[in-house]
Structure formats: C-alpha cells, structure tokens
Amino acid sequence: MVIGGSHECRPRRRTPMFIYGDIPTFWSAEIRMTRPVPVAPMVVDMVRAGIIAQEGAVYDTLDRCPWCGGPVRPYDLRPKRFATLCEPDGRRDIWVRVKRFRCGDCKKLCYADSPFYPGTRHGGPVVELASVLAGQMPPGQVVRTLFRLGIHLDRATIRCYSRLPLPPIATVHLFGLPVPVSILGLSIGRVSSLLSRTDRSVDERKPPSGATVQQGEKGENEYQKEEGHPPKHEQCTEQERYGEQSC
C-alpha cells in the first residue's frame, strides 16, 4: 500500500501449510503430552477401594529407634492424612493414626512403621502413583488423570513428589495406565479380608457333619425295615426293574 509516495511494508502473517500426516516434532510432542489418558472404570474402583480401606487404620509397631537402635517407649498417637478423594459433594480426607515413640537413648521422637515417605503429606502409594505419572506427562495432565481416579492433588505437590529420591517403583500397566503395585495391594488386601470374613460366616452356618447326616439316614432306613417296607435305595431298585423312570 502506497501512502503519500511512500511504500509501507507490513509483514504478512503466514499460516503453516502441512500435508496430512506431516506434523513437526515439537508439535507432536505437545499433542502427545496433552492428550487425555483414558482410565478404565475397573481401575478407578480398585484404586478407590484400596484407599478407602485405609480409613481409620492404626500403625503402632516399632522395634528399635531408627536413629540409634535404642529401645523405644510409646509417646502418643497422631492422625495423618493418607489421601484426599474427590466425591460428588466435595472432597473427603482419608485419615490414619500413627503412633509415635520416644527413644530411651537419644531421646528423639520417631514414628511407627507406616506407609509414609519422609517429608510427604500423603500415603506412600499415593506418592508413588503421582511420581510414576509425573515421569510420563506434565503436572497438569497428572492432576487431571488423578482426578479421573478420584484423587485430589495440586500441581505444586506433584512437582515436589516427582523430585523425591524414591526407590525403584514396581508398576503394572492396566489398560495403558501405569499403576504402582503398592496401591493395588491395598485393594487386594481389602478383598482378602472380605473373603476371610465371608468364609468365617459360611463356616458358622454350615449344617451338621457328614457322619451325623449319614447316621440320620441310616436310622430312617432301619425304621422302614421295622415297619415292613424296604429302604429307599431298594425301592428305587425295584421300580427300575419294572421300567419306571423315577422313584
């Protein structure tokens, strides 16, 4: 465009032209990171069931002081938050109780053996799940994936957990989603406890033993013999001889 004898050049905004299937590498990486991860409903149920099973659990076992190895004595019982679940009506905190001990030699306070990493505010399985997901996707995507699983964590907490020097984490891929074995063990432990309770209730409702039942049948046969009638098995045999199909 020419204004007053001068030529004004404006840079044109170029739109990238790509052939179908030809996407730059930096775009493909961004698309891969921001794509929503599908979560199977069965995985959601397993993770939630395992976390809910920890509600009200008590950890009160400690043999020796972890600092000096000296004897310990009970000090108090302190509640700790294991996880925060996303419910339809809001958030729900899952709390456990961990006993603290006082060392008799170094006089330090130490916690009982519990599924918590030092310097974390959530249970070890939740920390491992956040760390595993943070190794494959950005923190924002981890927040959305955990929300689909029913767990609430913010981005800052996920960044902190991803930088922790954790030991090697054993994972299992369920429908394309890496899940730590520790968080699956929580749900498996709940299922085994429910099965043990079911077996116990079934044992309480069992009928008398087989010897008692056989003794009762034998007494009935003897009673039929005393009345002049053949026993049940002999009656069936005689009816079968005459061609009858049922007793």
pLDDT tens-place string over residues 82-101: 999 999 889 999 999 999 99
Query: What pLDDT, on a 0 to 100 scale, did the predictor assign at position 186?
Result: 85
Please give the residue range of the domain that contains residue 156. 36-197
Contact 161/120 with Cβ under 8 angstroms? yes
Chain centre to alpha carbon of residue 8 = 66
Structural domains in the chain (count): 1
13 lies in some domain: no
Whole-angstrom distance, CA of residue 168 vs CA of residue 191: 26
Looking at residue 204, its pLDDT comes to 52
What local confidence, expressed as pLDDT, does residue 24 receive? Answer: 36
Cα distance between residue 145 and residue 137, in whole Å? 10
Q: Which pLDDT value is given to residue 201?
A: 47
> How far apart (Å, rounded) are the C-alpha atoms in residues 157 and 137?
15
Is residue 202 a part of any domain in this protein? Answer: no
Asked if residues 72 and 104 have their Cβ atoms less than 8 Å apart, the reply is yes
3-state secondary structure of 211: helix
Residue 71 lies in a domain: yes
Whether 137 maps to a domain, the answer reads yes
Phi–psi pair at 197, nearest 5 degrees: -65, -40
Three-state SS at 91: strand
Kindly state whether residue 91 falls inside one of the protein's structural domains.
yes
Per-residue model confidence (pLDDT) at position 208? 44
Query: Would residue 240 count as lying in a domain?
Result: no
Residue type, 199: D
Q: Is residue 41 in some structural domain?
A: yes
d(CA 230, CA 207): 28
Q: Can you list the residues of the chain whose pLDDT is less than 70?
A: 1-36, 189-247
What is the DSSP pairing of strand 171-174 with strand 2-3? unpaired
Place of tokens 């950005």: 138
pLDDT at 185: 87
Residue 26 lies in a domain: no
Average pLDDT in the chain = 75
Closest CA to 173 of 117, 133, 134: 133
Q: State the Cα–Cα distance between residues 122 and 179, nearest whole angstrom.
A: 17
Cα–Cα distance, 163 to 243 (Å, whole number): 83
User: How many Cα atoms occupy the beta-carbon half-sphere of 99 within 13 Å?
Assistant: 15
**Helix 41-52 / helix 181-204 crossing angle, nearest 10 deg:** 70
Question: Tokens 């456990």 identify what position?
Answer: 96
Element (H, E) at 102: strand 90-103
pLDDT for 37: 75
pTM: 0.64
pLDDT of residue 114: 93
Q: Which residues of 222-235 are buried (b: 16+ CB within 10 A; e: fewer)?
A: eeeeeeeeebeeee
